[in-house]
Amino acid sequence: MLSTGKSSAVISRNVMAKSKFEYVRDFEADDTCLAHCWVVVRLDGRNFHRFAEKHNFTKPNDSRALDLMTRCAQTVMTELEDIVMAYGQSDEYSFVFKRKSNWFRRRASKFMTNAASQFASSYVFYWKDYFKDQDLLYPPAFDGRVVVYPSNQTIKDYLSWRQADCHVNNLYNTVFWMLIQRSKLTPAQAQERLRGTLAADKNEILFSEYNINYNNEPPMFRKGTVLIWKKMRKIKPLRSEIICPKASEKLDFLPKCSYKSIKEIKSKEIKPPGETEGKQVEVTRIRTKPVALHCDIIGDTFWKEHPEILEDDS
């Protein structure tokens, strides 16, 4: 027989769960993301124009700030579920969730708030690793939005849009700051000089006046940062087999972001059944990590080299 104390506690919990207040749940909006669509969360720094000024970011690009953004995005990818890739530039990062993800039953608010809070806390947490001589003066914030894309073509176009935005802004900013820093123009004069110019004109100014070939500027500034999952070394292996990355990837790597695909062969002790002594055996383990690339994602090459990212379009 059940003890009366225990059963009455169960009964009272059930009554509580169906209290007269339960109806307020009906006020919660349904924000389920449409099934089988790619879910994108894009985060963007709040008022980073001011934040960059206050924290003495290098103009037009601050590698410390961009590397910190990428560190935060890698943390988001590692801590959250089902993110297949991310793309970042300036003060923004986009995270692409698996089409079939059922994380938090695909609720947009859960995707967005988890990404934004994880990203913002990581930004503060890792700040000192990137800005050694610059204190963090006030807490930064990031806004977020969720957009769903129904096909592989639309998600590719979304990412192309962000990378094209990176290119347009970076080309403009590179010339703009050259005119100010090297030719001592005021911001208003630099803006006037660039009014109505096309990309070719800006390239020409850079080349003829500053001897800069825009294509030789760092890929991270021109292309932004793509994060994809790669098998790589995490702990020191006893023996390792290095699988070389594809030739086109090699070109787009920054040395400090280099990765090696490594099949780890670790030593592990196991006890065969019936035996008291353990035996050392070698086990193979392949770990994956979000790895940074600074390559073109607008053309087909990237998608052909990484067919696993978008899988089938069904």
Residue 155: partners with Cβ closer than 8 Å, 6 or more residues away: 38, 40, 96, 149, 310
Residue 264 DSSP symbol = E
Identify whether the C-beta of residue 59 lies closer than 8 Å to the C-beta of residue 176: no
Q: Which of ligand GTP, Mg ion, none does residue 62 bind to, with CB < 5 to 8 Å depending on kind?
A: ligand GTP
57, interface contact from ligand GTP, Mg ion, none, CB < 5-8 Å by kind? ligand GTP
Residue 49 annotated as binding site? yes
Minimum Å gap between C-beta 51 and Mg ion is: 8
Residue with Cβ nearer Mg ion (142 or 309)? 142
Return d(Cα 178, Cα 192) in angstroms, integer. Answer: 14
In this structure, what are the phi and psi dihedrals at residue 88, rounded to the nearest 5 degrees?
A: -135, 150
Task: State the nearest-atom distance from the C-beta of 284 to ligand GTP, in Å.
Answer: 41
User: Under the criterion CB under 5 A, does residue 45 sit at the interface with Mg ion?
Assistant: yes
Q: Would you give the DSSP letter of residue 252?
A: T
- How near is the Cβ of 279 to ligand GTP at its closest, in Å? 54
Coil/strand/helix, residue 170: helix
Is position 274 annotated in a ligand binding site? no
Structure tokens at 140: 């930064």
Q: Cβ of residue 44: shortest distance to Mg ion, in angstroms?
A: 4
Order of strands, sheet of 288-293, starting from the edge strand that comes earlier in the sequence: 142-149, 38-45, 92-97, 83-89, 225-231, 288-293
Least CB distance to ligand GTP at residue 299 (A):
25
- Whichever of 119 and 232 has its CB closer to Mg ion, that residue is 119
* Nearest distance, CB of residue 90 and Mg ion, angstroms: 5
Say how far apart CA 260 and CA 98 lie, in whole Å.
25
Structure tokens, 232: 């790589």
Nearer to ligand GTP, 163 or 310 (CB): 163
Give the one entry of Mg ion, ligand GTP, none that residue 49 binds, where binding means its C-beta sits below a cut-off of 5 to 8 angstroms depending on kind.
ligand GTP
Point out which residues pair with 268 in neighbouring strands. 281
- Which residues sit opposite 97 in a β-bridge? 39, 83
What does the alpha-carbon distance between residue 132 and residue 136 come to, in Å, rounded to a whole number? 10
- Out of 67, 92, 249, 252, which residue is the one contacting Mg ion (CB under 5 A)? 92
Instruction: State yes or no: residue 144 binds Mg ion (CB under 5 A).
Output: no
CB 288 within 8 A of CB 231: yes
119 is in an annotated binding site: no
181 or 284: CB nearest ligand GTP: 181
Which residue lies nearer to ligand GTP by CB, 84 or 292?
292
Asked whether position 91 contacts Mg ion by CB under 5 A, the answer is yes
Q: What separation, in Å, do the N-terminal and C-terminal C-alpha atoms of the chain show?
A: 55
Nearer to ligand GTP, 47 or 121 (CB): 47
* Nearest CB to ligand GTP, comparing residues 82 and 92: 92
Burial of 257 (0-12, 13-18, 19+ CB in 10 A): middle
Footprint of ligand GTP (CB under 6 A): 44-49, 52, 57-62, 65-66, 90-91
- Residue ranges in contact with Mg ion by CB under 5 A: 44-45, 48, 90-92
Binding residue positions for GTP: 44-49, 90-91
Binding residue positions for Mg(2+): 44-45, 91
